[in-house]
Structure 1
């Protein structure tokens, strides 16, 4: 071992117990900034290089109105986008949804790269899909929203917004919207649907 490591023995015992109980245990890189204290009453367990965290919960059935700053958004998760002025409202107006691919937030900047994003525009909704295999900017014919499919797309400024976890119903609706343009978010990545295999 190249480095000396301080082992969290209590955490290690919890993780070993979780494995024994058949609960999911996940490995994460040490650089992951989203780790927080383990609370066995809250969720499943995660592990990474002698550090342990709560494994992300399933999407909630109903809105929990818990707002999350951009720097705490987890990669591979879907969030609703809400204007900061709407915080505290009973049913805040949702500007859109984003599925985080890479969180680039630091002390100097707030920025993310997304897998897909659905936003509200003046004349309707726009879906942005990032496809690593896309050779040129394109779109698919859809009835209720516009769409842009590209190799890369700059995330618009979101500093005036906060985020909340999407509900199961919203995630299902987004799955349906993605399928309308021939895509699905599966195994933490965007995949073009092969309709011949459906």
Structure 2
């Protein structure tokens, strides 16, 4: 079953993503959500341009826009390696959701969906669901966690950075970064 078919099957399963009966045992699944005090359309517009995402996704080395539905991603992997894939948008509902899957031949087969749901006076609930085939299976997933490169950990952090950027215009970091210390001492 392809990544897209698995995600489509998941869309019709009303169980929470982490307890879904349709999840494949060899496939890792991550579902994270955050409430952002901004309108859904504004958040969607930012996310719809994949080149914006390098600002909030820590492990992204590059994103190249190929056309309106395809982009090429290169990300950091454990042990100093990189992985690449072409992402193809398979469903796009402005202001509501974007669904994608990796094209054939991806270093890491993956698929996912980002949803934007109105939360009234609180803004918008942004939910990211990502399914992927970990290289090396369970052992590969273990090492990805060990090196802080596992998508579940990353999606939580990335959504937090997205929230900070969209609500404040900047991403909160340690008070004294190396760059700031160098600027202060010069």
TM-score by length of 1: 0.22
Structure with the largest fraction of helix: 2
Structure with more contact order per residue of length (Cα contacts < 8 Å, sep ≥ 6)? 2
Rg comparison, structure with higher value: 1
TM-score by length of 2: 0.23
